[in-house]
Structure 1
Amino acid sequence: MSALDPAATALRLFDAERRLYFFPIRHHSPACALHLRNALRETRPAAVLIEGPADFEPLIAELLAPGVVPPVAMVALPDSVEKAEGTRAGTTYYPICRHSPEFVAIQEAAALGAAIRFIDLPSRHRAMLSGPQDKEGAPLLPMRESVFDRGAYIEALCERAGFRDGLALWDGLFEARARGTDWRRFFTSVGAYCSALRAASEPDELEGDGTLARETMMRACLADAIANTTGPIAVVTGGFHTPALIGGHGETAPIGKTASPASNAWLIRYDFRALDRLNGYGAGLPLPGFYERLWERLTGDADAAGNLAEEMLVGFRAHLSRHEPALVFSFPTLRTMVETARRLAELRGLAEPGRTELFDAVQSAAIKEEIELGSHPLLAAFTHYLQGERLGDLPPGSRLPPLIERARREARANGLSLEDALPKNRELDIYRKPRHRQASRFLHAMRLIAPSFADRLKGPDMVHGFRADMLLESWSYAWSPAVEAALIDRTADADTVADAAAALLLRRLDHLEKEGQCNNAEAALNLLSIAFDAGLGRAADRLAAAVETAARADSDLLRLARALVIGKALESRARRYQSEGHEEAFATLLPSVLDRLVRRITELLPDLIAVDADHVGHAIACLAALAEAMADPDPDFAAQPLRDSLRELLYMQLDPALNGAVIALSTVIGLIDAGEAGRRLVAALAGAFEKPGEAIRTLSGVMALAPHLFINNGNVITAIDTLFGSIDDQGFLLLLPQLRMAFAELSPQETDKVAATVASAHGIGHDDLALLLQAPDAQALSEHLALGERLRDQWLQDGLSAWLEPAA
Structure 2
Amino acid sequence: MSTGVFDPLREQLLDAARAFGTDGNGAGDGVAKLLAGLVDDVDRALREELEIFPVCHHSPASALAMARRLREKRPKVVYLELCEDFAPLLAELKNCRLPVALQSFANEVDGFPKRWAPLSVIAPITEASAEYQAIAYAQETDGVELVLVDRSTDHVYQWDPPEPGAPSDAASDGPSDPKNPGDEDALHGDAVGVEIGDLRPGFAELEEHLLHHGKVRHWSEWWDQYVEQPLVGADYATYRQVMTLIGGLFRRLDPNPRNVRQNELRERHMWTRMREHLAATGADPGDCLYVCGASHAVSRVDEFGLRPDEPAEPFEIPPRTATKWRYGLIPSSHSAIEAQFGLAPGSVSIAAATFAKAVRRGGVKPFRLKDRRGAAAAAKKKAAPAPAVDPAAEAADRLSGFLSSPPALDPLDESELLGWCVDIVGLARRNGYLASTADAIAVFETSILLAGMRGRTRPTPYDFQDAAVTCIEKDRVPGRRDVARLCEILLGGDRIGQVGYESLPPLARDVLDRLEPLGLDLQKRTVQRALLNLDADPDLRACSDLLWVLRRLLPDDAVRPIMGARELGERSIQESWDLAIGRNQRSLVELGYEGVTAEQVLERRLRRAVYDPKATAAIALRAVEDAVVHLGARRFADELGARAVELLAAERTVDDAPEVLRRIRRLLAHYRATEPELPRWCGEFVTAGYTHYCTLLPTAFVDDDTGVRQVAAMLGFLLGMESLALSLGCERAQLELAVRQSHPETPAKIALLWAAKSQLGLMPVADVRARCDELLASPLSVPSFPHYLSGFVQALDPAPTLAPLVVEVLSKAFGRLPDRVLLPWLPKLIRALKDHAREMVPVLVNEAARTFPGSLPALDAWTPPWSGSADPAAAGAAAPSAAPGPVSDLLAGHPAACDAVASLLGHPVEWRAAPAAAGGGEASALVARYPAASAAVAALLVR
Alignment TM-score, normalising by the size of structure 2: 0.60
> 1:158 matched to which residue of 2?
210
> 1:619 matched to which residue of 2?
708
**Cα distance in structure 1, aligned partners of 2:361 and 2:724:** 70
2:373 is the alignment partner of 1:272:
no
- Secondary structure of the corresponding residue to residue 656 of structure 2: helix
Structure 1 pair 495–164 and aligned structure 2 pair: CA distance change class (3 A): same
Contact 1:78 1:90 in 2 (8 A): yes
Contact 2:198 2:293 in 1 (8 A): no
Give how far 1:307 is off: 6.0
> 1:566 matched to which residue of 2?
663
2:698 to 606, 625, 631: 606
2:59 to 29, 37, 41: 29
2:44 is the alignment partner of 1:6:
no
Q: What letter corresponds to residue 702 of structure 2 in structure 1?
A: A
Q: What letter corresponds to residue 117 of structure 1 in structure 2?
A: L
- Secondary structure of the corresponding residue to residue 595 of structure 1: helix
2:536 is the alignment partner of 1:425:
no
> 1:148 matched to which residue of 2?
200
Write the mapping of 1:462-501 to structure 2, written as runs, cut at 5 A. 462=567, 471-472=572-573, 474=575, 476=577, 478=579, 480-501=581-602
Structure 1 pair 6–601 and aligned structure 2 pair: CA distance change class (3 A): same
> 1:592 matched to which residue of 2?
684
Structure 1 pair 600–58 and aligned structure 2 pair: CA distance change class (3 A): closer
Write the mapping of 1:371-410 to structure 2, written as runs, cut at 5 A. 390-395=495-500, 398-408=502-512
Give how far 1:236 is off: 2.7
> 2:240 matched to which residue of 1?
187
Q: Could you say what the CA RMSD is over the residues aligned between the two structures, in angstroms?
A: 5.9
What do residues 502-539 of structure 1 show as CA deviations (whole Å, max 9, x unaligned)? 444455567x74xxx55x54345434544544437897
Count of paired positions: 719
1:93 to 115, 122, 134: 122
- Secondary structure of the corresponding residue to residue 416 of structure 2: coil
> 2:223 matched to which residue of 1?
170
2:453 to 347, 363, 369: 347
- Secondary structure of the corresponding residue to residue 24 of structure 1: strand
What do residues 581-608 of structure 1 show as CA deviations (whole Å, max 9, x unaligned)? xxx9x94544434433333222233345
> 2:252 matched to which residue of 1?
199
Contact 2:42 2:298 in 1 (8 A): no
**Cα distance in structure 2, aligned partners of 1:239 and 1:402:** 38
742-751 vs 346-355, which moves further: 742-751
- Secondary structure of the corresponding residue to residue 236 of structure 1: strand
> 2:99 matched to which residue of 1?
71
**Cα distance in structure 1, aligned partners of 2:695 and 2:343:** 57
2:284 is the alignment partner of 1:236:
no
Give how far 1:689 is off: 0.6
What do residues 401-425 of structure 1 show as CA deviations (whole Å, max 9, x unaligned)? 344345455656x989766546353
Give how far 1:242 is off: 1.8
Contact 1:562 1:625 in 2 (8 A): no
Alignment TM-score, normalising by the size of structure 1: 0.69
Write the mapping of 1:271-670 to structure 2, written as runs, cut at 5 A. 271-272=332-333, 275-278=336-339, 280=340, 288-300=348-360, 305-306=416-417, 310=421, 317=428, 321=431, 343-349=449-455, 351-354=458-461, 358=465, 362=469, 366=473, 390-395=495-500, 398-408=502-512, 420-421=523-524, 423-425=528-530, 427=532, 442-451=546-555, 453-460=558-565, 462=567, 471-472=572-573, 474=575, 476=577, 478=579, 480-505=581-606, 513=613, 517=614, 520-535=616-631, 547-548=644-645, 550-552=647-649, 554-573=651-670, 587-607=679-699, 609-610=701-702, 618-620=707-709, 622-623=711-712, 627=716, 645=735, 649=739, 655-660=746-751
Give how far 1:563 is off: 1.3
Q: What letter corresponds to residue 189 of structure 1 in structure 2?
A: V
Give how far 1:25 is off: 1.0
**Cα distance in structure 1, aligned partners of 2:856 and 2:833:** 17
Larger Rg: 2
Structure 1 pair 719–545 and aligned structure 2 pair: CA distance change class (3 A): closer
Structure 1 pair 489–121 and aligned structure 2 pair: CA distance change class (3 A): same
**Cα distance in structure 1, aligned partners of 2:630 and 2:563:** 16
**Cα distance in structure 2, aligned partners of 1:254 and 1:654:** 71
Q: What letter corresponds to residue 99 of structure 2 in structure 1?
A: P
> 1:788 matched to which residue of 2?
none
Gaps of 5+ in 1: 257-262, 370-375, 767-808
**Cα distance in structure 2, aligned partners of 1:268 and 1:171:** 29
What do residues 140-161 of structure 1 show as CA deviations (whole Å, max 9, x unaligned)? 5443655625337854753674
22-31 vs 681-690, which moves further: 681-690
> 2:897 matched to which residue of 1?
none
Give how far 1:277 is off: 3.8
> 1:115 matched to which residue of 2?
144
Q: What letter corresponds to residue 619 of structure 1 in structure 2?
A: V
- Secondary structure of the corresponding residue to residue 148 of structure 1: coil
Contact 2:708 2:748 in 1 (8 A): no
- Secondary structure of the corresponding residue to residue 237 of structure 1: strand
Write the mapping of 1:9-20 to structure 2, written as runs, cut at 5 A. 9-10=41-42
**Cα distance in structure 1, aligned partners of 2:709 and 2:109:** 52
> 1:793 matched to which residue of 2?
none
Contact 1:458 1:473 in 2 (8 A): yes
Q: What letter corresponds to residue 577 of structure 2 in structure 1?
A: S
Structure 1 pair 741–478 and aligned structure 2 pair: CA distance change class (3 A): closer
Give how far 1:761 is off: 10
Gaps of 5+ in 2: 4-35, 169-187, 318-323, 363-412, 835-840, 864-943
- Secondary structure of the corresponding residue to residue 604 of structure 1: helix
Q: What letter corresponds to residue 27 of structure 1 in structure 2?
A: H
700-709 vs 494-503, which moves further: 700-709
> 1:769 matched to which residue of 2?
none
Contact 1:52 1:119 in 2 (8 A): yes
- Secondary structure of the corresponding residue to residue 697 of structure 2: helix
Q: What letter corresponds to residue 97 of structure 1 in structure 2?
A: T
Structure 1 pair 719–74 and aligned structure 2 pair: CA distance change class (3 A): closer
**Cα distance in structure 2, aligned partners of 1:657 and 1:671:** 19
Structure 1 pair 340–648 and aligned structure 2 pair: CA distance change class (3 A): farther
- Secondary structure of the corresponding residue to residue 557 of structure 1: coil
Q: What letter corresponds to residue 337 of structure 2 in structure 1?
A: D
- Secondary structure of the corresponding residue to residue 27 of structure 1: coil
Q: What letter corresponds to residue 34 of structure 1 in structure 2?
A: L
Percent identity over the alignment?
Answer: 18
125-134 vs 206-215, which moves further: 125-134
Contact 1:341 1:357 in 2 (8 A): yes
Give how far 1:70 is off: 1.0
- Secondary structure of the corresponding residue to residue 70 of structure 1: coil
> 1:772 matched to which residue of 2?
none
- Secondary structure of the corresponding residue to residue 69 of structure 1: coil
Contact 1:310 1:338 in 2 (8 A): yes
1:730 to 807, 820, 823: 820
Q: What letter corresponds to residue 568 of structure 1 in structure 2?
A: R
98-107 vs 52-61, which moves further: 52-61
> 1:775 matched to which residue of 2?
none
- Secondary structure of the corresponding residue to residue 575 of structure 2: strand
Structure 1 pair 231–729 and aligned structure 2 pair: CA distance change class (3 A): closer
Structure 1 pair 538–183 and aligned structure 2 pair: CA distance change class (3 A): farther
